[in-house]
Amino acid sequence: MQLTNFVVGQWCAGAGTGQALRDPVLGTELARASSEGIDLAAALRYSREIGGPALRALSYAERAQLLTRIADVLTANRPAYVKIALENSGSPESDAAVDIDGSIYTLKFYARAAASLGAARYLQEGDAQSLSKDGAFQTSHLLLPLRGAAIFINAFNFPAWGLWEKAAPALLSGMPVLVKPATSTALLTWQMVQDVINAKVLPEGALSLICGSARDLVEHVSFDDVVAFTGSAATAARLRGTPAIVQHSTRLNVEADSLNLALLGPDATAGSDEFDLFVREVVREMTVKAGQKCTAIRRALVPAALQASVAEAIAARLAKVTVGNPRNAEVRMGPLVSKAQQQSVLDGLAQLRSQAQLVTPDPAQFRPIDADPAIAAFVPPALLQVADAHAASLVHEVEVFGPVATLMSYADEQDAFALARLGLGSLVASVFSADDAFTQRAVLELAGSHGRVLAVHSAVGKLQTGHGNAMPMCLHGGPGRAGGGEELGGLRALSLYHRRFAVQAGAERIAGLRAQAASVTY
């Protein structure tokens, strides 16, 4: 099977044999992807010249209806997507749901959120302000949709959500989308784009797809395009230096590596509600999607007196997690997405083990359920711990993108906050404490180096939405090594796809422009 590209309004096969997409349990080839020979400059021109004007002719409310129709198409085809996620990503249905249902939920959220923007085609922020003593000359800030293309270069771990969490605010803003999924898991993205295109729910040129290498794609960007990248810090650094991006000051939003933190408060005691909630969350984050989530907990920080009991409690829970072929109904955790990722995680684990000790059994002894370890891409959950969190520099530097976390302890509150900052910027921190005053101090401290802070105590233990779940209402992105990007956060996401400008004019003219704009409130 060949994954075709959808560009210039047509499905086109790339040249050559392309790259193979495989089942990470059985090792079988599922499809091949190639973008060779595709004219990527022409693909971008088509998006800008055909898709952009068609979308911008619609109001926000009309574009919101497009999102609802996409969500309906995805809902109708859900069973086929679950099967693809099983075959191409090795996902048990619960993991597939995070990606697929997360996409549908996010699209519907943005469709609803846009209701307040109504029939407008541009936005206004804040009130008009006077520039003259009598108020007859004023200024106002308006936001116009960008006239270029929204180019998404995505990571392998969310082939569905990675597209739709970006596409929802981009399409709503009136920008056409060109998506390049990570090749190893591109089958689900390809199928979804095919279904949406076949359903004819979008205007011509509003959605394009490149399967296989990005090749020279970013060399053709212009000042009105947006590049939204999710992936490794190394690729992000390469993209930042792309001459066309530098020359045109093209917007580049980066979501990259992250050493997310969970902090157990100093008030916790073994067996307290917050202790148990912390242990459960660490185990959940290590095992959901086999730890292949950019938001997964990588560093678990606890009071020194509790390190042994937390290690014991996490290890006991992990021992009950069944790992193997997700076609077996008993299995809770599947493989990594490819042999390459398995090797990358084993290499990262070996690096961490030069400074940290394994708490869980040695992965070398592990045998997956119903799978051949020589062919399949499994890594069992691995909890490490360090005696001195300041001396173990690697646990604050190396992101192992799999079911791996390191437990470490702090001496006092200030020590905990200092250790949190050693991650040099991450997506999420969570704090588990029954102490209100400590929690408030922790939230404000952790926010200095994390894009989102989750505070959990027993009263919200069952309500909280999870450390690793990127809710569309909440900002997704983090400073420093996490890339410095911002996605989601409700209607805040629209600002990436709009350009803010100031208009200075007579009061009546300002009022006339503002009368046609939707006020954006966050």
Site for ligand NAP in 448-487 (CB under 6 A): 482
Residue 87 near residue 30, CB atoms below 8 Å: yes
153: contact with ligand NAP by CB under 6 A: yes
What character string, x for contact with ligand NAP (CB under 6 A) and - otherwise, covers 94-133? ----------------------------------------
d(CA 152, CA 255): 11
Number of residues in contact with ligand NAP, rule: CB under 6 A? 25
Residue 190 C-beta: closest distance to ligand NAP, Å: 13
SS3 per residue for 251-294: EEEEECCCCEEEEECCCCCCCCHHHHHHHHHHHHHHHHHHHCCC
Residue 258 C-beta: closest distance to ligand NAP, Å: 6
d(CA 283, CA 288): 9
Binding segment (CB under 6 A) for ligand NAP, from list 44-52, 122-130, 149-157, 194-202: 149-157
User: Which amino acids are annotated catalytic?
Assistant: 255, 294
157: contact with ligand NAP by CB under 6 A: yes
Residue 347 C-beta: closest distance to ligand NAP, Å: 13
Long-range contacts (CB closer than 8 Å, 24 or more residues apart) made by 64-67? 64/110, 64/111, 64/112, 64/114, 64/115, 64/117, 64/172, 65/111, 66/171, 66/201, 66/202, 66/206, 67/107, 67/108, 67/110, 67/111, 67/114, 67/168, 67/171, 67/172
Farthest-apart Cα atoms in the chain, separation: 80
Q: Which of 293, 334, 296, 291 is nearest to 85 (CA)?
A: 334
Select 301 or 475, whichever has its Cβ closest to ligand NAP: 475
285: contact with ligand NAP by CB under 6 A: no
Select 146 or 153, whichever has its Cβ closest to ligand NAP: 153
Binding segment (CB under 6 A) for ligand NAP, from list 51-59, 66-74, 178-186, 512-520: 178-186
What character string, x for contact with ligand NAP (CB under 6 A) and - otherwise, covers 293-332? -x--------------------------------------
Residue 252 C-beta: closest distance to ligand NAP, Å: 11
d(CA 27, CA 484): 36
351: contact with ligand NAP by CB under 6 A: no
Residue 284 near residue 466, CB atoms below 8 Å: yes
Site for ligand NAP in 376-415 (CB under 6 A): 399, 401
DSSP string, 221-259: --TT-EEEEES-HHHHHHHHT-HHHHHHT-EEEEE----
Residue 331 near residue 371, CB atoms below 8 Å: no
38: contact with ligand NAP by CB under 6 A: no
Identify the bridge partners of residue 385 per DSSP, sorted by sequence position.
357, 407
368 SS3 class: coil
Task: Pick the binder of ligand NAP from 5, 91, 183, 433 (CB under 6 A).
Answer: 183
What character string, x for contact with ligand NAP (CB under 6 A) and - otherwise, covers 230-269? xxx--x--x----------------xxxx-----------
Q: What is the number of the residue whose Cβ is closest to ligand NAP?
A: 231
d(CA 358, CA 101): 35
By the criterion CB under 6 A, which residues form the site for ligand NAP?
153-157, 180, 182-183, 213-214, 218, 230-232, 235, 238, 255-258, 294, 399, 401, 427, 482
